[in-house]
Structure 1
Amino acid sequence: MEPQLVRGLGEQIVERLREDIYSGRIAEGERLREVDLAERFSVSRGPIRDALRQLSWEGIVHTDRNRGAQVAASAPNEIQELIIPLRRTIEGYAVRLFLDDLTDADFDRWDNILEEMRKACRARDFATASEQDIAFHRFLVERSNSPDLLATWSVIVSRVRGHFRESHLRYTDPMDIYREHTPLINAFKSGDSQLSIQLLEAHIR
């Protein structure tokens, strides 16, 4: 079972570190020193230790008794051929679970993510665009309210996070990253399960 952090500051630390690693602001192989992170977040080392334990469970951080914690390496590109069908299956199943129960608050959350993505794309800030892309899909799976589904998705995406950044760099117009997500939200709002899953599967590539 996924270890549970106390909601609040500890959860915010996990989210911030996760985003920094997914976006590449903290590089693969970089050491994560508890004392440095405690200073950064103005906390004791206890919450930092809990956050690193959570990220290690997700496969984002690798811990070694001698070297401590460091950012885990992404999987090689050829793994994408395996990962893409798995993501389509997981996220499509999540849509089936949540589509009839979406609220205005859910769409507000997606709108906030997309607004940050839009600003990042306009500024050609690919790190933040990648961060918000993953956040968009993470919330999609979170909204299924299935801890097992989220756990599986988290481990998969942690291994292919570099794919998001690499694929975004190939866009001639970065705003297309943002534009590709808006039809998904419109499909969710329509309540059409078949259309939503069809668009989602085409989007994940």
Structure 2
Amino acid sequence: MATSKPTKILSVKDQIADQLRSDIISGDLAPNTKLNEQELAKRFGLSRGPIRDVILQLSKEGLLISKNNCGASVNSVLEPKLQKLMINLRRNIEVYAIESLKNNPLTAEDFAQLESILNDLQSAFDREDFTEVTKTDISFHNYLIHKAGGEDLVNIWYPYVMRMRLNYKRITTSSECVDEHKGILQALRDGDISSAVKAIKANIK
């Protein structure tokens, strides 16, 4: 008998942050776009206080940049050399995470959750919802990072992956993306950490 996935209850601020992430990932909010607190407060029907909290959160994630007396804006696209550096830093963190799973192997429940994420990834491709593809892709990696090192490791890793997304073009075919993630998962299921590391390195580019 199949079990339904639990519904995650998000606070209002988390919902707003998630919507703005989607707007940035989709390109609806382009790099360097200035954000107006008053307009955002009106859009979401809130006071400016919670909007400021969301802006601070997204600034810590690397999606926004805040400057004194200038307000907040969507972060800029990285120049190629810095993008390459960001990719290498993210790879190093994820390789560290995969190798850490030697001492904290995934459980049957973990594999079921990761399979569910990959099903969601395929479903997003089938709907041609490429913003959701990106977010679901991130959630797969986030799950592994959290399993390996908890919130501390996630907090180191997350700004890199989110900032990199500003440079990404839309993925329009599912086979390569989904297959790469299935390869990571299968290697972990087989207990083959070396192959899982190779698969992670190949996926992050």
State the TM-score, normalized to the length of structure 2. Answer: 0.77
* 3-state SS of 1:26 partner: coil
Q: Does 1:32 align with 2:35?
A: yes
The alpha carbon displacement at 1:186 in A equals 1.8
- 1:74-132 Cα offsets, whole Å, 9 max, x none, are 21233333233222210011123345343444334433432332123224333332232
Seen in structure 2, the aligned counterparts of structure 1 residues 36 and 116 have a Cα distance that, compared at 3 Å, is farther
Q: 2:121 is aligned with what amino acid? A: M
Q: Distance in 2 between matches of 1:113 and 1:40?
A: 31
Q: 2:177 is aligned with what amino acid? A: I
Match of 1:4 in 2: none
> Contact between 2:24 and 2:30, CA under 8 Å: does it hold in 1?
yes
User: May I ask how many residue pairs the two structures share in their alignment?
Assistant: 195
Identity of aligned residues (%): 35
Q: Distance in 1 between matches of 2:112 and 2:85?
A: 33
Q: Distance in 1 between matches of 2:24 and 2:69?
A: 22
Match of 2:7 in 1: none
Seen in structure 2, the aligned counterparts of structure 1 residues 204 and 63 have a Cα distance that, compared at 3 Å, is same
- 1:20-43 Cα offsets, whole Å, 9 max, x none, are 323434321223333343344444
> Contact between 2:64 and 2:72, CA under 8 Å: does it hold in 1?
yes
Q: Does 1:94 align with 2:97?
A: yes
Q: Tell me which stretches of 4 or more aligned residues in structure 1 moved more than 6 Å.
A: none
Q: Distance in 2 between matches of 1:104 and 1:164?
A: 33
- RMSD, aligned CA: 2.7
Q: Distance in 2 between matches of 1:49 and 1:112?
A: 34
Structure 2 unaligned regions, length at least 5: 1-9
> Contact between 2:125 and 2:174, CA under 8 Å: does it hold in 1?
yes
Q: Distance in 2 between matches of 1:18 and 1:109?
A: 23
State the TM-score, normalized to the length of structure 1. Answer: 0.77
Which is greater in Rg? 2
Match of 1:46 in 2: 49
